[in-house]
Each structure stands twice: as structure tokens, then as C-alpha cells.
Amino acid sequence: MSQNIEHVKCLIIGSGPAGYTAAIYAARADLKPVMYMGHEPGGQLTTTTEVENYPGYPTGVQGPKMMEDFKAQAERFKTDIRYGHATKVDFTGPVHKVFIDENTEIHADTVIIATGASAKWLGLPSEQKHRLNGSGVSACAVCDGFFFRGQEVAIVGGGDTAAEEATYLAKLCTKVYMIIRRDELRASKAMQHRAMNTPNIEIVWNSETVEVHGDKMVDGVTVKNVKTGELRKLTVTGFFVAIGHKPNTDIFKGWLDLDETGYIKATPGSSRTNIEGVFASGDAQDKIYRQAVTAAGTGCMAALDAERYLAAKGIH
């Protein structure tokens, strides 16, 4: 039972680049946005190290610092930023109900979803150690590949993302091992063809990763052939994991149109969902690009769409 019910014009769920950009635009348009930051304030970028590809930071910036800057800019225009996690929604009526934790119920004229996605990990302790230390394990080749130029790296996964990232890495690195757990790739034929025909990509078939080595920095990976049991050590300085992402959209199931993997289906060219007044932005609706700058762009779109929706409804 909710203890507090509050009516807001614009509710933003999530605090990554999409959420903060939506907040900046919505606040400047006087929509008085309220943002709930979720379990991971600042989103995926708070777990990365240096960001070198976000325009406006010519010498690069640490991911957590960049998110502090986003937050400061949203606060400058008086976004009401709160701790709290959306646990349930009810999109039956013209006013959208969003339940925050156990005790708060928000009634919103517009909702901007910016709940993001989470990279899947193998779950090995050695993988997590280097991921959390930023010492050679990453789930984003486009973000971090540059740090490994001229070196040898490995990537796990056989889907389109892994194939695309392996070919991207192959341009920067001297050698890329692509570790595949079966004897075939899941990626589309075109992507498979590209990965298999890149001379400095070696596909390591039927193999699972046993351990990521390295004291301070990654210096190798041991893989085990699942058919023969044979162990092989790959000498690499970077270990990329590309085994899929999970969009954080569970609470919207049954309300919003989602694709077969859970991504919100937004109307192409807009942020509109199948529910009037509910807009989707960022990685929760994007399985292709997944960049901070594209998330920010769709956050901007969602705020502009919300503003137009409210104006058309005569809600001031």
C-alpha cells in the first residue's frame, strides 16, 4: 500500500545519459521533471574508466565524472533528482502510475523511460576483479578497444555484437581471439563471413573461459576445449565480453510492446511507445548502438516528444 501519492507532469525513470539529457531538456521546457535514479545512479558509465569518445571532452573524462557533470547540468535547471527504484507501473489510465520502492506512488502525465540495459558477464571472479578495477576487462569494444591498440586481445561471444566488435578490434589490435562455446557462430551470415575472413582474428571453437589472469592488469586468459578438455593459455592484455545485454524493462512487460529480447519498441523516428504519454529512450530501446552519445540523443527526443504531447493535451 503506497503511503505517498504525488502528481507530476514529467517523470523520468533512470539516471544514465538518456535520463539526464531528458531531464535537462524537460527542465528547460518547464516540465518540472522528477527523476528517480534507480539502483545504479549514473548508469553503466559509472562502472567504466576513461571515456574518450563523448564529444565535448577533448582530453577524455572518467565515466563517473562525466555522469556527475550530467547530473550537475540537470540540477542547474532544477530537476528534482531522487533516490529510488521503480518497482511497478500501471499504465491503464490517462495518468500513468509508477510505484517507487515500497512506499511512493507517482501519478505522471508523461513518463520517460531511461532504465538502460545491463551487460551480461560470465561471472568468473577473475573477470569481475578486472572489470571492477578497470584493469583490462570490458563489455564494450567501441568504448575501450582503443586502449589496447597494438596489443593482443580476446573476445567471448558468437553473436552479431561479438562479431562486429571482433572486427572493430582487429583494426586496432595485432591479434583478436574470438572464444566461441560451440562449433558455430550465432551471428548473421554476413557478420560471420566478415569475422572469419579477417586475417588477424582467430576463432577458438568449442571453448569456455576458465580464468582471466593478471595481478594488476590482465596478462592472459585460459580457455578449455569443452570437447577434449584441453586447456590453452592465450596471452592477451584485454578481455572483452560480448555475450549479450539485458534491457532493464521487466516492470513494463504486459504494458509496453517489447521485442523478443525485451527491448522497448519505440515508433521509428520518435520515442513514442504504444502507450500515449510514455516515451522510451536510451539502451532500454536500443540494442544496436548502445553508446552514451546515442542514449543522450534519444533522451533529448523523449523530452521533446513529452513536451509536444503535453502541449497538444493542453496540460500546463
List contacts with ligand NDP (CB under 6 A): 122, 156-162, 164, 181-182, 186, 243-245, 287-288
d(CA 87, CA 189): 40
Among residues 28 and 129, whose Cβ is nearest to ligand NDP? 129
Q: Which of 123, 125, 129 is nearest to 215 (CA)?
A: 129
Q: How far is the CB of 22 from ligand NDP (least distance, A)?
A: 24
Q: How far is the CB of 151 from ligand NDP (least distance, A)?
A: 22
Q: How far is the CB of 136 from ligand NDP (least distance, A)?
A: 18
Q: Is 310 helix (H, G, I), strand (E, B) or coil?
A: helix
Among residues 175 and 181, whose Cβ is nearest to ligand NDP? 181
Among residues 191 and 301, whose Cβ is nearest to ligand NDP? 191
Question: What kind and span of H or E run contains 224?
Answer: strand 220-225
Catalytic option among 10, 109, 144, 283: 144
Instruction: Based on the residue annotation, tell me whether 144 is a catalytic residue of this protein.
Output: yes
Catalytic option among 10, 109, 143, 160: 143
Phi (first) and psi of residue 264, to 5 degrees: -70, 135
Number of neighbours of residue 53 by Cβ within 10 angstroms: 14
Residue spans of beta strands (DSSP E) within 103-157: 104-113, 117-119, 137-138, 152-156
Number of neighbours of residue 55 by Cβ within 10 angstroms: 7
Q: How far is the CB of 163 from ligand NDP (least distance, A)?
A: 8
Q: What is the DSSP letter of 51?
A: E
Among residues 97 and 287, whose Cβ is nearest to ligand NDP? 287
What separation in angstroms does the CA of 188 have from each of 111, 161, 164, 166, 291? 35, 10, 10, 14, 22
Q: How far is the CB of 196 from ligand NDP (least distance, A)?
A: 14
Q: How far is the CB of 72 from ligand NDP (least distance, A)?
A: 33
Catalytic option among 140, 160, 286, 300: 140
Instruction: Based on the residue annotation, tell me whether 143 is a catalytic residue of this protein.
Output: yes
Q: Is 112 helix (H, G, I), strand (E, B) or coil?
A: strand
Let me know: does 101 contact 80? Beta carbons within 8 Å: no
Q: Which residue is nearest to ligand NDP (CB)?
A: 159
Q: Which residues of 184-193 are buried (b: 16+ CB within 10 A; e: fewer)?
A: ebbbeeebbe
Q: Please give the positions annotated as active site.
A: 140, 143-144
